[in-house]
Every structure is written in structure tokens, then in C-alpha cells.
Amino acid sequence: MKHKWLMLIIFMALVLALPQGSWARVQGACSDCHTMHNSQNGATIYANGPYRALTKGDCVGCHTGTNSGSNNIPYVLDNSQPNYGTFGISGNTLAGGNFYWVKNGDDTTGHNVEGIANVDQNIGMTPPGWNSGFNANGQIAPNGWDHQLTCAGVYGCHGKHEEVDDFADIRGAHHADDSTIDGSTVGTSFRFLYGIKGIEDSDWEYQPTSTEHNQYYAVNRTDVSSMPSDTATINYLCAECHGDFHSGTGVSYTGSGSPWLRHPSDFALSSASGAGYTDYPGPFGTKGTYWPGAPLGSDLTGGVLSTVTFSGTDDIVLCISCHRAHGSPYADLLRWDYNNCKASSGNGSECGCFACHTNKY
């Protein structure tokens, strides 16, 4: 008898000694996300249910709420207008932004995800810059865009792009052991973006700082006219739908003057020939201090970086240096209001472009 109690105590000690989060990505009470029968006190709990994986709703069913910094579930949609602030780093939105504005009718402010917003009335269903060739991490929309964008799946951003059903496509990810983010499975990919690497901020960048933020994986390319060789960058994730904006003859050209035809990504500030880029973040801080308002990518060897040394491996422009993946208050899903971007105005403090283009305001 005594041996049994001793064994139980030892077992519980072992359990408690294990590192937090090593068993499961998600944290908190199971009932935060699940209902066994969608029934409580004889009544249906969640309308239109029951839902797959015994959840409280579809993706947005769980991921809807107001971020407080202490919530266990990241909220990407708020039923009331979030506090975004000027650059989305001082309020209650997260790294990807929030779908609130596109849900409430402004198609230009977010990805028009099924179940959140209608099909974009300006663009339709085909993503701008769409190129089906960026399929190293799974083929998105193999038959073209005859289906609205979804959270995950064949027509989605998250997951492995093998199932049309976004739930099925990310099956097992939420409870996967994500202690190592290597892109090998959905659960061990940055933010369930299959094949993509990165370091995940523990609270999804709720009010990030220079020392507390995601660290995005990116590479500095010398040739942007060809298909990229590294398909694990956050920029490649964007390219899976917006590939013509990432690589190809429509991005750069060989000739006199500036080679850029479209804004670079997976390209280091220190590789730019013009002046001012290595004065990042310009008006937003001391030179070389990471500014989460306009994030830069790195090769991840230095972990979460608070300092940018402009080495070519820690100063890499990203798509999300300028855009929010989910949505923002601003057109083109920009992180800031482009109308505040005025050359030669003398005031650069309201336009994130000037974090890199430091001599243009």
C-alpha cells in the first residue's frame, strides 16, 4: 500500500517537473475549446453545432474574443472594434492583426476568409499576384480559385493544403509537441503554417516590444528573379498565394539604376544600394533597435533579436514588415495608414515606411 502511494507521488512529481507546454501547444482548461455533446442543462450550447473535433465552433468560434494579454486562446476576430493604435503594437490586436474590419464590410482591410467575410467585391477570389508555382509546401488551389479563402486547407493559409476541410487539414496540430519549430509537420510549423519556420512569441505579440516578439525566418537573396530555393521563410508563405510579388521578372530586372520593379522581400536592408536603410528604425527608435511595428526577418541563429546589426542575416525585409496577415484598420492590410506616408513632410512618426526609408520624410 505504501509502495503504491509512493509510486503515485513519484509519478505526479515527474509530471509536474516536465517543462510547461511540452505535451501540448494549447494551454488551459479543455472546456475553453471543447464541448463533449454540445449540450448543457438540456439545452444546446452553441448554435449551428455540433462542430468538428467537439469544439465550440469552427475556427473563429474559438478564436473570437478580446485579447487581454492573459488569454490562452489567441483571438483573431473581435466582435467589438479592437484597439489597434497607430501601428498595432500598443493595443489589443495580435501579430496577424484582426479580422474585425474586413468582417464589418471593408474588403480592403483584411483577407476575406470564408465564415468571416464575404468574397472580396474588388478582387474576387483570386489573390493578387497569384502564381500556382509556389507549391513547395503543398499545392494551394490546384484547380484555380473557385473557392473562397479559408483559414486552412487547400484554399487556406494554415495547414498542409491537403484537405479542403480546414479542420481536417490541421488535425493534430493544436495538441502537437511544438517545442521545436522546424516546419516538418503542421503542429511544428510556425503558427501552423506548414513548412514555415520561426520563433513564436508566447502571447502572439500582444503589445510586443523590441525584446518580446515573434522572430520571423527569412533569407537574403541575391537573385529574386528565379523561384526561391528556401521555402521555409515567412515570405514564402505569402508567396504561396502572392508569388508574383515575391519572385520573378516582375519583381526585379537587370539594368541600370535601381533593379526593383516591386517592393523587395527576402532581401536585406544592408544589401540595398540606396542610403538610409541601415538607419532602421528611423524615427521609431535608436538605430539598430528592433521595432515590432515594422518587423524584420533573420536566420534565427540569434534567437529573438532586440538588436539589428545589418549583417545580411538579421535585417531582412518581409511581406509582413508592411502588412498584417489577418487584417488591420487600413487598406491593403497595411500595418499603418498609407495616407500618413508623405515624402518631405518632416514628420515620419505616423508612417511605418519610414522605418526603413529613413531619408524620405
Partner 1 sequence: MKRNILGVTIWILAFIIGLCTSSHARVSGVCSNCHTMHNSQNGQPVSADGPNTNLTKYDCVGCHSSSTSSTTYQLGDSTVPVVLYTGGSAPTQYLAGGNFWWVKEGLGNTDGKIGDPKGHNVFLGEDDDFLTEAPGSSINCTNSCHTRLSEKAQAGDPRLQGKYGCSGCHVFVRHHANDHPNGNYNNVVGKDGGWYRYLPSPHVTNYGVEGIEDSDWQATVSASDHNEYLGKATSFTNSGGFMAIGADTMTAYCTGCHGNFHIENADYKGGSPWLRHPSDAVIPDRGEYANYTTYNPLAPVARPDLSNFNGPSATVTPGQDMVMCLSCHRPHGSPYDDILRWDYSQCTVGNSSECGCFICHTNKGTYQ
Closer residue to partner 1 (CB): 134 or 204:
134
Residue 40: CB partners within 8 Å, gap ≥ 6? none
Q: Give the three-class secondary structure for 156.
A: strand
CB of 36 to partner 1, least distance (A): 44
Cell of 36: 463533449
- What are the φ/ψ torsions at residue 73 (nearest 5 degrees)? -110, 130
77 makes contact with partner 1 (CB under 8 A): no
Long-range interactions of 222-229: CB distance < 8 A, separation 24+ = 222/271, 224/248, 224/251, 224/252, 224/264, 224/266, 224/267, 225/249, 225/251, 225/252, 225/253, 225/254, 227/133, 227/134, 228/266
- Using CB under 8 A, count the residues that bind partner 1: 31
126 makes contact with partner 1 (CB under 8 A): yes
CB of 286 to partner 1, least distance (A): 22
344 makes contact with partner 1 (CB under 8 A): yes
CB of 239 to partner 1, least distance (A): 12
Among 63-71, 83-91, 142-150, 249-257, the segment contacting partner 1 (CB under 8 A): 249-257
260 makes contact with partner 1 (CB under 8 A): yes
349 makes contact with partner 1 (CB under 8 A): no
345 makes contact with partner 1 (CB under 8 A): yes
Q: Name residues contacting partner 1, limited to 314-333 (CB under 8 A).
A: 322
Residue 209: CB partners within 8 Å, gap ≥ 6? 292
> What is the distance between the alpha carbons of residues 20 and 12, in angstroms, rounded to a whole number?
14
Look-up: residue for cell 493544403? 161
Closer residue to partner 1 (CB): 116 or 334:
334
Chain positions contacting partner 1, by CB under 8 A: 122-124, 126, 128-129, 242, 245, 250, 253, 255-263, 322, 338-339, 341-345, 351, 353, 359-360
